[in-house]
Amino acid sequence: MTLVVSVTGIVASMPIGIALALGRRSTIPLIRIFSVAFIEFWRGVPLITVMFFATYMLPLFLPGNFTIDNLMRVLIGIALFAGAYNAEVIRGGLNAIPRGQAEAASALGLSYWKTTGLIVLPQALRHVIPGLVNSFIALFKDTSLVSIVALFDLLGQLRAAFADPTWSTPTTLFTGFAFTGLIYFVFCFGMSRYSLSVEHRLNAHRRT
């Protein structure tokens, strides 16, 4: 459950973040206002509130014969929440790209979408790898909140083990949380080191 929620949130939030970052820089007022309002709303709401809303309040707004699985509702909420944070990280990378890059692409006859997809966006994403990975690590740790809305993740299974007399020992509490913390540390440290290796490979041209 922890891996499903975190991987789905990371993968689904990236296109959402890219679309919102581009929308916030759009010259079309309606798209820009919608993107700004969306980002500010989701950044101003705690993740636990998003999960409670997706789990208990969202079904009230759906037709009576239409239902969505509890896990799917949580995944959608996490993806939108993480997408809003990724949008600001990606927008920082877009702002760091010199205007001359887009102007040179325009002089070569490239359209806006080709300029963005082939020139501007790849450079922007390369600049914000540390920020994106930091958001991914925070999202991976925040998946422990799903146990509050009756989804059993890693910590939820640990709490269930505490209530089972078969697993109850004087050291269960310490060893259980210590082992769970070690698992979180291994995954987070692995993501951090992998991001450093990716950043090192993508910035090889700067070392020559």
CB burial of residue 119 (10 Å; 0-12, 13-18, 19+)? middle
CA 99 to chain centre: 28
Between 182 and 167, the more confident residue is 182
Q: Go through the chain and tell me how many residues it has.
A: 208
In this model, does residue 70 exceed pLDDT 60? Answer: yes
Farthest CA pair distance, the chain: 73
CB 135 within 8 A of CB 190: no
pLDDT average, residue stretch 34-51: 90
Between 139 and 146, the more confident residue is 139
Average pLDDT, the chain: 85
- CATH architecture of the domain covering 2-207: Orthogonal Bundle (1.10)
Over the stretch 154-175, which tens digit does the pLDDT of each residue have? 777 777 777 777 777 777 778 8
Quick one: DSSP state of residue 150?
T
Contacts 24+ apart (CB under 8 A), 140-146: 140/2, 140/6, 140/10, 140/184, 140/187, 140/188, 140/191, 141/184, 141/188, 142/47, 143/2, 143/5, 143/6, 143/9, 143/78, 144/2, 145/47, 145/48, 145/51, 146/1, 146/5, 146/51, 146/74
| pLDDT given for residue 177 in this prediction | 84
Is the overall model pTM greater than 0.75, yes or no?
yes
Between 120 and 200, the more confident residue is 120
In this model, does residue 91 exceed pLDDT 80? Answer: yes
Rounded to whole angstroms, what are the CA distances from 13 to 10, 27, 183? 5, 23, 23
In this model, does residue 153 exceed pLDDT 80? Answer: no
| pLDDT given for residue 19 in this prediction | 94
H helices of the chain, in order, are: 2-24, 29-43, 47-52, 70-96, 99-107, 112-115, 121-127, 129-142, 154-162, 172-202
In this model, does residue 126 exceed pLDDT 70? Answer: yes
Model confidence band, residue 208 (pLDDT cutoffs 50, 70, 90)? low
Residue 106 to residue 180: CA distance in whole angstroms: 52
